[in-house]
Structure 1
Amino acid sequence: MRAPAVNHRPENPLDTVGGLCHGDPMRNLRTVARTPRQAARTAVLDPDGAVFLLRSDNVEVGVHWTMPGGGLEAGESPAEGARRELWEETGWTDLEPGPLLCTWEHDFTWHGIPVRQHEHIFLGRGPGRGPVGDVSAVHTADKILGWRWWTPADLADENGDALWPPQLPQLLDSVREVWLGGAGSPAPVQPVDLGYVPNSTRPAGR
């Protein structure tokens, strides 16, 4: 079962989003011009097909689960950024991002700035384990509340906190066997472009 949702939002969750809280704050955020941001993440699967997710909080969209990752630095490729973020947030410097799983765009507020983030999500493989070394400072700065491994059954549960992206269960179901199955090199993975996904939207069947 998913961990129960926990409300970490302030009474007025958008007080910190520079001057947007006049009248209906969510209406203001829907109409405000957003800053483009490039980011990358890695969906690390263990040998049993569970995926490692981080539980995070965001002033605009609330508590959610997503993969290790974040914004790209100047001059970084998506694959380079995914590797750096994976190492920073987990300490797993023995892992490398693999093939591209998907791309998508979504809105949230990053350090007080409303952004529209374009993400590349890569696949990875590794043993089931917790973060290694001292990652507490990174987790605090990024408002990461916790972590856990999610089995396919966990991902299929409709109750609990939101997933980023909402289509993650279906995406992993479509590649889990070819990515993990058999000895030797995994079969090729065909990446999917999800396009823009509104925060309020969940795919059919969720």
Structure 2
Amino acid sequence: MTAQEPVRRREAARVLLLDAADRVLLFHGFDPAEPARTWWFTPGGGLEPGEDSRAAALRELAEETGLAGVELGPVVAVDLAEFSYDGERYQQRQCFHLARTVGVGPVDLDSSGSAPDEREQLSEARWWTVAELRRTADQVYPERLVELLELLLRGGVPVEPVRL
């Protein structure tokens, strides 16, 4: 980022949603300003005024997946992401909540609660194993997702959130 470019700063909550087989849910999307550039990412989004990360994570998860009543766990990681989206620069402080669901697969997901422009930019939802993530050549965010998932699956919830 250069000093001349305005940067939008925001807080966000993301969800590491694991199913019974320890697969993580990721969405495949693109930047409207660069439709050929795609990536996989966790459910979540920006906090609304007065909203805490837990409430935002649950709201975003319900909007993007149709899942309500998910048992949302603690914040297991934090990150400062800097990126460009739709021609604007962002600096986003984000926390990652761990959550688990049982018996839910991709066919059970419903993104109709998302804003129409968000739905247009999401091409797919997929449950990934750690092994699949390790092998993929696709861009995945956060970049250290595999390391984080291995830590969580091997050692459980950390005492303090991991810095990505």
- Tell me the equivalent position of 1:148: 126
- Tell me the equivalent position of 1:157: 135
Which of 149, 155, 159 is 1:172 aligned to?
Answer: 149
Asked whether the equivalents of residues 50 and 150 of structure 1 are also in contact (C-alpha less than 8 Å), the reply is: yes
SS state at 2:96 partner: strand
Q: What are the superposed Cα offsets for residues 89-148 of structure 1, whole Å, 9 maximum, x if unpaired? A: 001102032111211112223454321111111100012412647524627422111111
Counterpart residue identity of residue 170, structure 1? E
- Tell me the equivalent position of 1:95: 70
In the superposition, the TM-score normalised over structure 1's length comes to: 0.68
Q: What are the superposed Cα offsets for residues 21-52 of structure 1, whole Å, 9 maximum, x if unpaired? A: xxxxxxxxx31231111111100111221101
- Tell me the equivalent position of 1:191: 161
Larger Rg: 1
Whether 1:35 aligns to 2:35 is no
Asked whether the equivalents of residues 64 and 113 of structure 2 are also in contact (C-alpha less than 8 Å), the reply is: no
Asked whether the equivalents of residues 15 and 43 of structure 2 are also in contact (C-alpha less than 8 Å), the reply is: yes
Which of 63, 83, 87 is 2:58 aligned to?
Answer: 83
Unaligned segments of structure 2, at least 5 residues: none
SS state at 1:54 partner: strand
- Tell me the equivalent position of 2:84: 109
How many residue pairs end up in the alignment? 157
Cα distance, 1:131–1:69 mapped onto 2, change above 3 Å: farther
SS state at 2:48 partner: coil
Cα distance, 1:150–1:134 mapped onto 2, change above 3 Å: closer
In the superposition, the TM-score normalised over structure 2's length comes to: 0.84
Q: Which has the higher contact order (CA 8 A, sep 6+)?
A: 2
Unaligned segments of structure 1, at least 5 residues: 1-29, 180-186, 195-206
Counterpart residue identity of residue 55, structure 2? E
Cα distance, 1:130–1:116 mapped onto 2, change above 3 Å: same
1:155 is displaced (CA, Å) by 1.1
Two-structure CA RMSD over aligned residues (Å):
2.2
Asked whether the equivalents of residues 42 and 121 of structure 1 are also in contact (C-alpha less than 8 Å), the reply is: yes
